[in-house]
Structure 1
Amino acid sequence: MSPKVAIAQINSTVGDLSGNRERIAEFVRKAAALGADIVLTPELSLTGYPPEDLLLQHSFHSSTQLELDRLKNELADLDNVFVLVGHHLIKGGLCYNACSILVNGTIIGTYFKQELPNYTVFDEKRYFAPGNEPLVFKVKGVCFGIGICEDVWFPLPPQKARAAGADVMLVMNSSPYHMGKMHQRPVIVRQNVIGQGMSAIYANLVGGQDELVFDGCSFAMNTDGKVCVQLKQCEEDLEIVSFDNKQPVNGRMEEHPTVESEVYRALVLGVRDYVTKNGFPGVIIGLSGGVDSALVLAIAVDALGPEKVRAVMMPSPYTSDISQIDASDMAGRLKVAYDEIPISDCFSSFLSTLAPQFNKLPEDSTEENLQARIRGTLLMALSNKFGSIVLTTGNKSEMAVGYCTLYGDMAGGFAVIKDIYKTLVYRLCHYRNSISDVIPERMLTRAPTAELKPNQFDQDTLPPYEVLDTIVRMFMEENRSVGEIVKNGYNTTVVERIVRLMRINEYKRRQAPIGIRITPRGFGRDWRCPITSKYRD
């Protein structure tokens, strides 16, 4: 009789040790009821990923061990069900990223992760020591080896597992999302696991953790390199993988979403988990009548429901009638609480108060930023009074070049589209409207404008967003020099100006709220440029 392996695609919460234990147990019992012999959970499923400096607290170690013992005893009544649980373990004074095999109330073996990622958003070498030994076990005549995430991005750990007799590699993962990542993972598994003559079961974490989103998309792959089982994106999931002659059998295949769909789902998941896991009762959004705040509002409603979303329109003397009409229209379509708080009187009071200091100097961006800061103050006051978190609405294109106001539109707790280029903002809006028509068409067709002075348009001071976004992407994500970007057909003056703006606005980005990462490099934990720097290429 061939074994059955359950992929438990669980949404763990960092530090919620008892909650994670209960979630694991729930999935294990469901899997056992479906006939599973082995249940594979994600990397660090008991602690959540990444636990970061919680790993430096001694109490966290003892609490994790206590919950692991509780889980082992809680599942002792399940006869011969092998449960693979991710956790950290202190041994010999060193901390390891580990996987323990629980069966019949005992731990029959613990594997230590061998390859520790220390790039982009990862800094595992800060916390963990590497293991160097394989761990294999047999169930119903099939020999299973264990790998943890980065282990399969290199050939040596799979080679060791194969040499120890493994027919199948069970890989627990906490692999964070960025665009295209779901297509990249099978390629790596095909190269380093299937290339060793083993099949693979790949269980990935799902859920939002600060700026990271884990998208699930777990899968099984046979020795021909074919994905034969594919789980959902951005949802918890459970699937039983059957085997025939040591090969996973074809099973459920969830469709790969389009780029717009996968990004939108990731944003919805990131907002839902950040708000709910941190205990906020709801969110507040400054709705301008523009496309960025429209997208954030749609995401928030899809993530939390309209009853937890409040939209606030704050017209200034330069706000057009159509902006107010469209903002009200969209709030009505989504059935969210909607308020209008004019800021003209506040703006006049500030100008009057500052008049002696300004001493009849000509108006400039100071007056524009003042309006943004009044709005930021009002939103934060509402947040303070009602407990809801402010979602900011700035996109990656604006963040890159500083087209945003410190303590103004940057004021808030979570930056939903911080890693979304303006060109992608439009694509996501059209995608959302293809599901249901919630964003007024005029928001998508009118020229983008901050409406902070008469007849103002973004393109008065910025190159077309198609150009801006490409230059930012090449400089930031691909590490291209000014000269290399120019060789790709872009104007030297434009490129130099954009790169200069990116450099001089680093101090602003350091003070921005965290936001959801959806590109291979976002302005966050994997962007660490010095504020004070004289280097110019």
Structure 2
Amino acid sequence: MKIAICQFNPIIGDIQGNKRKIIEGYKKGIQNKVDLVVFPELFLCGYPPLDLVEKKEFRNALHKAVEEIAYQTNDVGLIFGSITEDEEDNIGTNVYNSAIFCFDGKIKFIQNKTLIPNYDVFDEVRYFESAKSVDVFEFKNERLGISICEDIWNDADYWKHRRYSIDPVKILFDKGATIFINISASPYSYGKRFEKYQMLKKLTTDDKIPLVYACTVGAQTDLIFDGASFCFDNNGRLNLLGKKFEEDFLIFDTNENYPEIQNVESSYEEEVISALILGIKDYANKTGFKKALVGLSGGIDSSLVTYLAVQALGKENVHVVMMPSIYSSKGSIEDSKKLIRNLGISSDEISIQPVVDVALMQLEKSFNNKSEDITEENLQSRVRGLYLMALSNKHGYLLLTTGNKSEIATGYATLYGDMCGALAVIGDVYKTQVYSIANYINRNEEIIPNEIIQKAPSAELRPNQTDQDSLPPYELLDEILKLYLEEQKEKNEISKIIGNEEPVKKVLRLVDLNEFKRKQAAPVLRVSKKAFGYGRRFPIVQGWRK
């Protein structure tokens, strides 16, 4: 069978726009004389649609669009993801995450998703019912075993611990499937693609059945979808790999011999740069922003965010503002100007000191002669936030925040100050990883000035300040954070690994104390298996660790 995979980029809620993409992809498949055209999971509504699913008018519009798409089909099959309803059932939501199979002008078959995930960033149990049956569908002398994303992540031969008692793919195999088709919208995190490759290779090797794994691509607020659709033959060999982080149109002929593909994932630095660029680009394009704004401090974080914004939107669409105070070093300004020249972007330099001085004077009486503390430091950051928000409002800039994961974790950021902005670009990238990415960017030529990479990190909110005045060295801090945030280890376990309890106690306390900040932070582009935001939910008020 000759199958086209439309690895396209939908917009959540844009039913008409997504419908056009489905029809265009289908027509392209016809032109290429394929038997079947396949689109990813919930493509018609975009993934994840969240509470849009609860709107009856939204579901009705989807049903109408499904019928309009089906009507335009001929003898070439079309599979795409959408939402369906069971009006006769009066128990549960009666709403399903479905793969819809159309040809000859009609909907011929619907396979609903069986395994409904409810962990990390997934909350599908809130909206969807599980399929009542799993069936194969005969089409052009093949028996198609159609599944949806999570349905294929429960192979008993691959997973030591399974989340579900049912294996939909095993049912399809037992019912005589000759080709597996899985439509997917699986959010990206580094390392996940290789894990998918190993899992699907094991499945197709054992079952001796070819597989089409059609993945969506694009960014939806904080979630990034990397594409990289897979096509395996019946010997477990990867035949085709879709483009990473961009749209693609693949044609897979199950009767053709292909050279085996074994390298599916690049280095951490290359992958994450591509993911973050896509995250910025899609957030801007899908929300209508043309230009981005970054507060450029002369530090490595804001420099990296500026570089990524330029790659995403073009140098003519990125503006930076330097906002020195009396504590800003001459080097910070000069380093920033060097980066500005290297990237060819526009900039402003506006001192915060006059506003800080007036604010302190106005507050002097109300401060009641209390000695200086973090209040005065935060005031400087909040004046910078004031400037950034004003420029964003006046010029329609998309304001990007520059805090890294290490800072966001420990609260080393000022609420309503440097946390102002619409999108946290590197909020899922630890400080040590920021350095690694910066060095990767500079591998052929100096783009981010070496002076910025080599200087001691500092917020420059008091004389001779460095980050390590308040935090452990970043190598140690990041190791503790990874163990706590991503591996869910607790104080005693981490202390045993680290060999020192004191920094562990301090770091874990900082993480817990600053949950309130993260609840008010900009959405974080997700590139790890456990990012801040929707996928990590902890109470602000709690007594677990006093």
Global fold match (TM > 0.5):
yes
- Is residue 2:169 matched to residue 1:150? no
Q: CA deviation at 1:218?
A: 0.7
- Choose the corresponding residue for 2:381, options 357, 361, 372: 372
Pairing 1:155-170 to 2, within 5 Å after superposition: 155=155, 156-170=167-181
- Is residue 2:112 matched to residue 1:112? yes
SS in structure 2 of the partner of residue 134 of structure 1:
coil
Distance change (3 Å), C-alpha of 1:214 and 1:392 = same
Q: CA deviation at 1:457?
A: 0.6
Partners of 1:300 and 1:209 lie apart in 2 by: 17
CA deviation string 1:140-181 (max 9, x = no partner) = 433221010000011421111112221111000000001101
User: What residue number does 1:63 align with?
Assistant: 61
Partners of 2:261 and 2:512 lie apart in 1 by: 48
The normalised TM-score by structure 2 is 0.94
After TM superposition, the structure 1 stretch with the greater mean CA deviation from structure 2, 260-269 or 359-368, is: 359-368
SS in structure 2 of the partner of residue 88 of structure 1:
strand
User: What residue number does 2:368 align with?
Assistant: 359
- Choose the corresponding residue for 1:18, options 16, 29, 33: 16
Pairing 1:124-523 to 2, within 5 Å after superposition: 124-155=124-155, 156-192=167-203, 194-244=205-255, 249-250=258-259, 256-434=265-443, 437-523=446-532
Structure 1 contact 330–440 (Cα < 8 Å) conserved: yes
Q: CA deviation at 1:361?
A: 2.7
CA deviation string 1:19-44 (max 9, x = no partner) = 00111122222222222211111000
CA deviation string 1:443-463 (max 9, x = no partner) = 111111111111111112111
Aligned residues with identical type, % of pairs: 40
CA deviation string 1:224-276 (max 9, x = no partner) = 222121111101011101122xx774488886321111111110101111111
Q: CA deviation at 1:437?
A: 3.2
After TM superposition, the structure 1 stretch with the greater mean CA deviation from structure 2, 455-464 or 54-63, is: 455-464
Structure 2 contact 216–226 (Cα < 8 Å) conserved: yes
Q: CA deviation at 1:358?
A: 2.3
CA deviation string 1:406-425 (max 9, x = no partner) = 11001111111111100111
Structure 1 contact 229–253 (Cα < 8 Å) conserved: no
After TM superposition, the structure 1 stretch with the greater mean CA deviation from structure 2, 60-69 or 169-178, is: 60-69
Q: CA deviation at 1:54?
A: 0.2
Structure 2 contact 201–238 (Cα < 8 Å) conserved: no
After TM superposition, the structure 1 stretch with the greater mean CA deviation from structure 2, 272-281 or 492-501, is: 272-281
Q: CA deviation at 1:60?
A: 0.5
SS in structure 1 of the partner of residue 137 of structure 2:
strand
Structure 1 contact 220–248 (Cα < 8 Å) conserved: no
After TM superposition, the structure 1 stretch with the greater mean CA deviation from structure 2, 404-413 or 194-203, is: 194-203
Partners of 2:16 and 2:446 lie apart in 1 by: 42
Aligned-residue RMSD, C-alpha: 1.6
Q: CA deviation at 1:307?
A: 1.9
User: What residue number does 2:84 align with?
Assistant: 89
Q: CA deviation at 1:518?
A: 0.9
Q: CA deviation at 1:116?
A: 0.6
Partners of 1:335 and 1:321 lie apart in 2 by: 21
Q: CA deviation at 1:440?
A: 0.8
Q: CA deviation at 1:194?
A: 4.3
Structure 1 contact 173–203 (Cα < 8 Å) conserved: yes
Q: CA deviation at 1:105?
A: 1.1
SS in structure 2 of the partner of residue 434 of structure 1:
coil
SS in structure 2 of the partner of residue 129 of structure 1:
coil
Structure 2 contact 301–434 (Cα < 8 Å) conserved: yes
After TM superposition, the structure 1 stretch with the greater mean CA deviation from structure 2, 192-201 or 56-65, is: 192-201
Partners of 2:335 and 2:512 lie apart in 1 by: 35
Q: CA deviation at 1:436?
A: 5.1
- Choose the corresponding residue for 1:27, options 17, 25, 28: 25
Partners of 1:70 and 1:64 lie apart in 2 by: 10
SS in structure 2 of the partner of residue 293 of structure 1:
helix
1:174 partner letter: A
SS in structure 1 of the partner of residue 498 of structure 2:
coil
CA deviation string 1:465-491 (max 9, x = no partner) = 111011011011111010000111331
Partners of 1:429 and 1:53 lie apart in 2 by: 38
After TM superposition, the structure 1 stretch with the greater mean CA deviation from structure 2, 159-168 or 189-198, is: 189-198
Structure 1 contact 13–47 (Cα < 8 Å) conserved: yes
After TM superposition, the structure 1 stretch with the greater mean CA deviation from structure 2, 254-263 or 191-200, is: 191-200
Structure 2 contact 293–320 (Cα < 8 Å) conserved: yes
CA deviation string 1:363-407 (max 9, x = no partner) = 221111111000001100111111212100001000111100011
Pairing 1:1-12 to 2, within 5 Å after superposition: 3-12=1-10
Distance change (3 Å), C-alpha of 1:254 and 1:338 = farther
SS in structure 2 of the partner of residue 373 of structure 1:
helix
SS in structure 2 of the partner of residue 488 of structure 1:
helix
Partners of 2:503 and 2:279 lie apart in 1 by: 34
